[in-house]
Chains A and B, each alone.
Chain A
Amino acid sequence: MLLAVPGGVASSHAQEARAPIQLLLQEHGEIIAKSSRRTIGPAIDALARSGLPQAQLVLEKWRAKEMWRDKETGLFVFAEEIDRRTIRIFDFADGREIAEVADKGFKQLKPNSGIRGLIGAALVQFQLSDPDPANRATALDAIERDAEPSHLTALRGAIESEGDAGLRARKARLERLLTIRFAEDPAERIAAIEGFSGDLGVDVRAALNPLLARALDVSTSRPSGPDIAAVLEPGSAALSRAEAHALLVDKGLAVPRVTPAQKREALIANIADGQVGGVQLAELDSEAARDLAYAALARAGLAPPSAAPGDIDAALAAHVFFERFVGAPPEVARAAADVLAGIETQVAINQFIDLVLDAVSLGSIYFLAAIGLAITFGVMRVINMAHGEFIMMGAYTGFVVQQIVPDYTLSIILAIPLAFAVTFGAGVALERLVIRWLYHRPLETLLATFGVSIALQQIAKNIFGTQARPLTAPGWLDGSLIVNDIVSISYIRIAIFVLALLFLALFLLVMNRTRLGLEVRAVTQNPRMAASMGINPDRINMLTFGFGSGIAGIAGVAIGLYAKVTSEMGADYIVQSFMTVVVGGVGNIWGTLLGASMVGVLQKGIEWFNPSNTLAAQTYMILFVILFIQFRPRGIIALKGRAAEA
């Protein structure tokens, strides 16, 4: 049947009122027109499930507020506005233009945001088969964010036709996850659950956890039935006595215990003639007296009765507390619990690996900070408290270079040798001006270098200010190497680790393979003998100290990339650095390496027990090191015998 186009405008195309899509719309015409979030569901579902090719168009136009309804015939069209009064209407059945009409004969449908959300969810199934892969991916994102039972069928229908291997895998995984959540058949859900056994994905745990939801319940006899998850004892870790009692009170099975605050209010409300419940006001300065007065009020019906401790005991003893599965049918919940337990083990193992990686990277930082000390303190036995400030100088050198050279890669490449040069110079100057005069007076060296450290810190503060300065890593060091959802390590930490290894190699090379190393070892072992062999101990001491300080400068650049550059950054590392050297065993680079690893592992290990508190971790780490030194005063790798006594 052809209907005349209303409005009297000559029609180029007549609307097909018998088209299946229009019939469907008419069937739900009233609720669509009513446009209420609460009642709209069946209409959207009907459209989405209709299988009609035009359904997607209807939903899209509806959501875009471009669907109109003829006030006279009740037929739905979509339209575009031409001007304020005129619209051009189109037929949903074939998408063709019907006519240009005045808008007063049509009512625009304006779904609110809640309805638009529902429409969007329904549209997903169409998007899942969209020709554009980007749209398909967006649809998958939307489902992952906010899944609905209806998506399951949509997904299942969209897997076969998927051409993109990556999207296909995603769809398949998502289908399994949705099966767990929404499938009707428990066996199907259990199969899906077991399929994820050992999977570390956060999404799997997010899907499984709600299935394990339990509700606390109480009865007078021991309950039975498959849905009973556990029977709980009041006063245990899982159920405190207060919680158990509160449940009884909620269920009307016990009298509540009045809190001190409620008791107080009740008493105040009933003050009369300077007394409450027969007790003088002045005597109500203890809980016992207040209990007495309150009991009197309760007897008089002026306040609700309060449970005495004995009543609570009796009530708790008379009931059995248990939890039942409410998140899923019991067999599904149990399967989920089993699989989740397996996953948790996997997670724990992976977290441990992650922790070890963290510890290794922290250890590398300590090693970097300590390796210069391993030279000045370990080899030369000169204690340099300004070592931390050399690290700081290196970091500020990097900062200054970045101010001049804006390219981050280039500036870091420039900063490393520059930092070495600057701190090498500072080290040589310190050795020449101060330390040279104090050889064999270690405590005085310690003091004098303290003075230098205080001065350098303040100078840095005066020049660069107290706020932290950034040292930005080049772009290629951004991001992390991600192994799985738990194990990942940032590239900058890998770089620091590699740098630490390079330094170790450099140290070994210089000390064992070069003339300088040979002379250094000669001078430290017996300066007089070395001097008589034609080695200039002054020059060697100067160069060695400079070398150690220079390495501190490079370490400063590395640490600056990882942490912020402040005038106090050196002070933050100095104690740990000395600990590292002492714990490892003075005078042995491998000992320093072991010491750094141990300090790193310890700190991360303690942090793992108490993740929120890195200060406490540092405290306990230091205490542990103090105790460790009790048992190995000369460190992990101890020099034995006469050499150790020098």
Chain B
Amino acid sequence: MSALLEVSGVSVSFDGFKAINNLTFSIGAAELRAVIGPNGAGKTTFMDIITGKTRPDDGRVIWGEKSVSLLAMSESRIAQEGIGRKFQRPTIFEDQSVAENLMLALKKPRGPFAVLGFRASRADRDRVAELAEEIGLAAALARKAGELSHGQKQWLEIGMLLAQEPRLLLVDEPAAGMTPAEREHTTELLVEAAKTRAVVVVEHDMEFVRRLGCKVTVLHEGSVLAEGSIDHVTSDEKVIEVYLGR
């Protein structure tokens, strides 16, 4: 299976502090991957680099079948290439309705003039309704997003990501602050999503990772410490020392 995303030898430092140090990582086209690591391991910076928010000092980030470099692209261009990102805290547009939020995310031309002339078709509205069903917000379509509960906001954001139809989904701590039932639902959504696309989950919660049942990459001090199944990495001496054995 050829890799969808290949990160090789990437380094970045802030004022002398090496946040990412010669990191190499790759993921296939339909794969679920969990990335774990202690605080300051560089998980968020890693996602920043892929999404174009941070420019690395060194290294390559290669994307897709045509092997294009993501380094020269703007954030919006990268997102249009099919990389979606979910932030740690739910970031949705609270002043707008659930339907508007989903409609914004729907995979459609993004340019200002295309958007100015955009009129939602029947199919678009059906797609929004379908997504809302999937994330359990069908009844809340007309409500302002700001009125939703914390868990609902998380789902709305996941729904927006799905609406983008990305080929790679980067999810930052999706289960934080959720009730057990909500976590269950989130796990299902992610596993389901990973059947058709690549999903990278950054997570703190070992239990949640175990439930995802996928390959795990352990980051430490900006580079990969170990990679493999959850059982494999949890038995790794180094991993136990820096992360689990505390």
Residues of chain B with a CB closer than 8 A to A640's CB: 14-15
From residue 17 to 37 of chain B, which have CB atoms closer than 8 A to chain A? 17
Residues of chain B with a CB closer than 8 A to A642's CB: 14
Is A641 an interface position by the 8 A CB rule? yes
Interface Cβ pair total, 8 Å cutoff: 7
Give the residue name and chain of the A residue nearest to B14 (CB): A641
Residues of chain B with a CB closer than 8 A to A641's CB: 14-15, 17
Q: Mark A610-646 against chain B: 1 for CB-CB distance below 8 A, else 0.
A: 0000000000000000000000000000001111000
Give the residue name and chain of the A residue nearest to B17 (CB): A641
Query: Given the complex of chains A and B, what is the CA–CA distance between A643 and B14 in angstroms?
Result: 9
Query: Given the complex of chains A and B, what is the CA–CA distance between A122 and B17 in angstroms?
Result: 85
Query: Given the complex of chains A and B, what is the CA–CA distance between A642 and B17 in angstroms?
Result: 11
Residues of chain B with a CB closer than 8 A to A643's CB: 15
Query: Given the complex of chains A and B, what is the CA–CA distance between A642 and B53 in angstroms?
Result: 12
Q: How far is the CB of B37 from chain A (nearest CB, A)?
A: 17
Query: Given the complex of chains A and B, what is the CA–CA distance between A640 and B15 in angstroms?
Result: 6
Give the residue name and chain of the A residue nearest to B54 (CB): A641
Query: Given the complex of chains A and B, what is the CA–CA distance between A641 and B54 in angstroms?
Result: 9
Q: Mark A288-306 against chain B: 1 for CB-CB distance below 8 A, else 0.
A: 0000000000000000000
Q: How far is the CB of A340 from chain B (nearest CB, A)?
A: 55
Q: Mark B5-16 against chain A: 1 for CB-CB distance below 8 A, else 0.
A: 000000000110
Interface size class of B (residues with CB under 8 A): under 10
Query: Given the complex of chains A and B, what is the CA–CA distance between A506 and B73 in angstroms?
Result: 46
Sample (7) of A-B pairs whose CB atoms are under 8 Å apart: A640-B14, A640-B15, A641-B14, A641-B15, A641-B17, A642-B14, A643-B15
Query: Given the complex of chains A and B, what is the CA–CA distance between A398 and B115 in angstroms?
Result: 59
From residue 116 to 133 of chain B, which have CB atoms closer than 8 A to chain A? none
Q: How far is the CB of A362 from chain B (nearest CB, A)?
A: 33
Query: Given the complex of chains A and B, what is the CA–CA distance between A640 and B55 in angstroms?
Result: 12
Residues of chain A with a CB closer than 8 A to B14's CB: 640-642
Q: How far is the CB of A544 from chain B (nearest CB, A)?
A: 25
Query: Given the complex of chains A and B, what is the CA–CA distance between A640 and B19 in angstroms?
Result: 13
Give the residue name and chain of the B residue nearest to A640 (CB): B15
Query: Given the complex of chains A and B, what is the CA–CA distance between A640 and B14 in angstroms?
Result: 6
Residues of chain A with a CB closer than 8 A to B17's CB: 641
3 tightest CB-CB pairs across the interface, nearest first?
A: A641-B14, A641-B15, A640-B15
Q: How far is the CB of A642 from chain B (nearest CB, A)?
A: 6
Query: Given the complex of chains A and B, what is the CA–CA distance between A29 and B16 in angstroms?
Result: 99
Q: How far is the CB of A440 from chain B (nearest CB, A)?
A: 16
Q: How far is the CB of B122 from chain A (nearest CB, A)?
A: 40
Q: How far is the CB of A127 from chain B (nearest CB, A)?
A: 75
Query: Given the complex of chains A and B, what is the CA–CA distance between A403 and B48 in angstroms?
Result: 62
Residues of chain A with a CB closer than 8 A to B15's CB: 640-641, 643
Q: How far is the CB of B199 from chain A (nearest CB, A)?
A: 27
Query: Given the complex of chains A and B, what is the CA–CA distance between A643 and B19 in angstroms?
Result: 14
Q: How far is the CB of A50 from chain B (nearest CB, A)?
A: 89
Q: How far is the CB of A263 from chain B (nearest CB, A)?
A: 59
Query: Given the complex of chains A and B, what is the CA–CA distance between A642 and B15 in angstroms?
Result: 9
Q: How far is the CB of B212 from chain A (nearest CB, A)?
A: 29
Q: How far is the CB of B121 from chain A (nearest CB, A)?
A: 37
Query: Given the complex of chains A and B, what is the CA–CA distance between A641 and B14 in angstroms?
Result: 5
Give the residue name and chain of the A residue nearest to B45 (CB): A642
Give the residue name and chain of the B residue nearest to A644 (CB): B14
Query: Given the complex of chains A and B, what is the CA–CA distance between A641 and B12 in angstroms?
Result: 10
Query: Given the complex of chains A and B, what is the CA–CA distance between A323 and B48 in angstroms?
Result: 73
Q: Mark A65-107 against chain B: 1 for CB-CB distance below 8 A, else 0.
A: 0000000000000000000000000000000000000000000
Q: How far is the CB of A632 from chain B (nearest CB, A)?
A: 16
Query: Given the complex of chains A and B, what is the CA–CA distance between A292 and B178 in angstroms?
Result: 97
Query: Given the complex of chains A and B, what is the CA–CA distance between A643 and B15 in angstroms?
Result: 10
Q: How far is the CB of A633 from chain B (nearest CB, A)?
A: 14
Q: How far is the CB of B151 from chain A (nearest CB, A)?
A: 25
Q: How far is the CB of B179 from chain A (nearest CB, A)?
A: 27
Query: Given the complex of chains A and B, what is the CA–CA distance between A641 and B15 in angstroms?
Result: 7
Q: How far is the CB of B55 from chain A (nearest CB, A)?
A: 12
Q: How far is the CB of A371 from chain B (nearest CB, A)?
A: 25
Query: Given the complex of chains A and B, what is the CA–CA distance between A642 and B42 in angstroms?
Result: 12
Q: Mark A501-526 against chain B: 1 for CB-CB distance below 8 A, else 0.
A: 00000000000000000000000000
Query: Given the complex of chains A and B, what is the CA–CA distance between A642 and B19 in angstroms?
Result: 11
Q: How far is the CB of B39 from chain A (nearest CB, A)?
A: 13
Q: How far is the CB of A117 from chain B (nearest CB, A)?
A: 78
Most buried by B among A640, A642, A643: A642
Q: Mark A527-566 against chain B: 1 for CB-CB distance below 8 A, else 0.
A: 0000000000000000000000000000000000000000
Query: Given the complex of chains A and B, what is the CA–CA distance between A643 and B17 in angstroms?
Result: 12
Q: Mark A257-286 against chain B: 1 for CB-CB distance below 8 A, else 0.
A: 000000000000000000000000000000
Query: Given the complex of chains A and B, what is the CA–CA distance between A642 and B14 in angstroms?
Result: 7
Q: How far is the CB of B17 from chain A (nearest CB, A)?
A: 7
Give the residue name and chain of the A residue nearest to B19 (CB): A641
Q: How far is the CB of A641 from chain B (nearest CB, A)?
A: 3
Query: Given the complex of chains A and B, what is the CA–CA distance between A523 and B17 in angstroms?
Result: 24
Q: How far is the CB of A588 from chain B (nearest CB, A)?
A: 13
Query: Given the complex of chains A and B, what is the CA–CA distance between A641 and B17 in angstroms?
Result: 9
Q: How far is the CB of A268 from chain B (nearest CB, A)?
A: 62
Query: Given the complex of chains A and B, what is the CA–CA distance between A641 and B18 in angstroms?
Result: 11
Q: Mark A571-600 against chain B: 1 for CB-CB distance below 8 A, else 0.
A: 000000000000000000000000000000
From residue 18 to 60 of chain A, which have CB atoms closer than 8 A to chain B? none
From residue 188 to 210 of chain B, which have CB atoms closer than 8 A to chain A? none
Q: How far is the CB of B56 from chain A (nearest CB, A)?
A: 13
Q: How far is the CB of A591 from chain B (nearest CB, A)?
A: 15
Query: Given the complex of chains A and B, what is the CA–CA distance between A243 and B17 in angstroms?
Result: 71
Query: Given the complex of chains A and B, what is the CA–CA distance between A327 and B17 in angstroms?
Result: 73
Give the residue name and chain of the B residue nearest to A642 (CB): B14
Q: How far is the CB of B46 from chain A (nearest CB, A)?
A: 14
Q: How far is the CB of B62 from chain A (nearest CB, A)?
A: 25
Q: How far is the CB of A441 from chain B (nearest CB, A)?
A: 15
Query: Given the complex of chains A and B, what is the CA–CA distance between A641 and B13 in angstroms?
Result: 8
Q: How far is the CB of A413 from chain B (nearest CB, A)?
A: 44
Give the residue name and chain of the B residue nearest to A639 (CB): B15
Give the residue name and chain of the A residue nearest to B53 (CB): A645
From residue 432 to 487 of chain A, which have CB atoms closer than 8 A to chain B? none
Q: How far is the CB of B88 from chain A (nearest CB, A)?
A: 15
Give the residue name and chain of the A residue nearest to B44 (CB): A642
Query: Given the complex of chains A and B, what is the CA–CA distance between A333 and B223 in angstroms?
Result: 78
Most buried by B among A640, A641, A643: A641
Query: Given the complex of chains A and B, what is the CA–CA distance between A445 and B226 in angstroms?
Result: 49
Q: How far is the CB of A175 from chain B (nearest CB, A)?
A: 68
Query: Given the complex of chains A and B, what is the CA–CA distance between A640 and B17 in angstroms?
Result: 11
Query: Given the complex of chains A and B, what is the CA–CA distance between A102 and B147 in angstroms?
Result: 123
Query: Given the complex of chains A and B, what is the CA–CA distance between A582 and B176 in angstroms?
Result: 38
Query: Given the complex of chains A and B, what is the CA–CA distance between A172 and B54 in angstroms?
Result: 73
